[in-house]
Amino acid sequence: MLKIAIQKSGRLFEDSIKLLKECGIEISNGNKQLKTVADNFPLEIYFLRDDDIPQYVYDGVADIGIVGENVLLEKNKDISLVYRLGFGKCRLSIAVPKSFKYKASTDLSGLKIATSYPAILKKYLKKQKVDAEIHEISGSVEIAPGIGLADAICDLVSSGSTLFTNNLKEAEVILKSEAVLTANKNLSAENKVLLEKLLLRINAVKTAKNNKYIILNAPNRQLKNIESILPGMKSPTVTPLATEGWSSVQSVVNENDFWEVIEKLKQSEAEGILVLPIEKMIV
């Protein structure tokens, strides 16, 4: 049985559960309990505070965990980062009062910076050779300058609206973060196999999200052209249409190249282009 720790409630909870669902793992019990067992995969789910997850994974109470990279780096335990999950994106930034004329990190010298991320901040300041005072607080960091507790803050930002309403501005991004899958370094042989199975599924879900299935009609004289535009997984599937001289072409397109590919297809006389989402993709 593989044991996974996920956030009990908060910003990562829903996406963590959604990911497990998309991997075909059914969880009938909610997060009311401390732990539950999946119905159709040998997986036990622990619901914990995100800050505790690295320690639990390190101790082997949980084998793997889903946590923000920011928490993983702050706690600095000897555990592995196995997979970047692409949700819970945010940045850890230093922010200063709007009126502060900030130019470079050296402007932070001598200031008092409030943060819940003292380890990451300390490392950053050391690297920048800036001598500032770190004031650790556990929550509501953004109000610290307003109440005279600190001159600046180092906190998580996504849209920046919280900073704005607290009369602060982002001065320096010190970490770009997203949710990651982390694992204990001494998994049993059995659990290593289970983790590989889970990773195959996660990868299939993530790859599918980055790709689209495309179906189109094209005149046969353009097929060579279209095959070079749409390489597909091996090569596109080409089947003749009832209309003489025409074929149906099916392939897979990466989200990043999508519009460029569509333009080229149009230039190659492709018609009736259909684009469909892919649920799972195993390459």
90 binds, among ligand ATP, Zn ion, none (CB under 5 to 8 A by kind): ligand ATP
Q: Which of the stretches 49-57, 97-105, 106-114, 269-277 binds ligand ATP when contact is defined by CB under 6 A?
A: 49-57
18 near ligand ATP (CB under 6 A): no
Instruction: For the CB of residue 43, give the shortest distance to ligand ATP in the complex, in Å.
Output: 20
CB 152 within 8 A of CB 171: yes
- Member of 3, 23, 50, 64 binding ligand ATP (CB under 6 A): 50
**What token pair was written down for 64?**
């793997």
**What token pair was written down for 68?**
């923000």
The strand ranges marked E within the chain are 2-7, 35-37, 43-48, 64-68, 80-84, 90-97, 112-115, 133-136, 152-157, 168-177, 179-183, 211-219, 237-240, 246-254, 271-277
- Member of 68, 72, 79, 124 binding ligand ATP (CB under 6 A): 68
In the bound state with ligand ATP, the residue whose beta carbon lies nearer, of 11 and 35, is: 11
Q: Which of the stretches 25-33, 44-52, 168-176, 274-282 binds ligand ATP when contact is defined by CB under 6 A?
A: 44-52
In one letter, which amino acid is 116? S
Q: Which of the stretches 68-76, 165-173, 184-192, 250-258 binds ligand ATP when contact is defined by CB under 6 A?
A: 68-76
CB atoms closer than 10 angstroms to residue 79:
23
H-type helices in 23-142, by residue range? 53-59, 69-75, 118-128
Q: Rule CB under 5 A: which of 49-88 touch Zn ion?
A: 50-51
In the bound state with ligand ATP, the residue whose beta carbon lies nearer, of 10 and 272, is: 10
CB atoms closer than 10 angstroms to residue 22:
17
The number of residues in the chain equals 283
Largest CA distance in the chain: 79
44 near Zn ion (CB under 5 A): no
User: Token pair 């409630």 is at which residue?
Assistant: 9
Helix (H, G, I), strand (E, B) or coil at 106: helix
Q: Rule CB under 6 A: which of 108-167 touch ligand ATP?
A: 156, 158
Residues that bind Zn ion (CB under 5 A): 50-51
Residues that bind ligand ATP (CB under 6 A): 7, 10-12, 49-51, 68, 70-71, 88, 90, 156, 158, 177
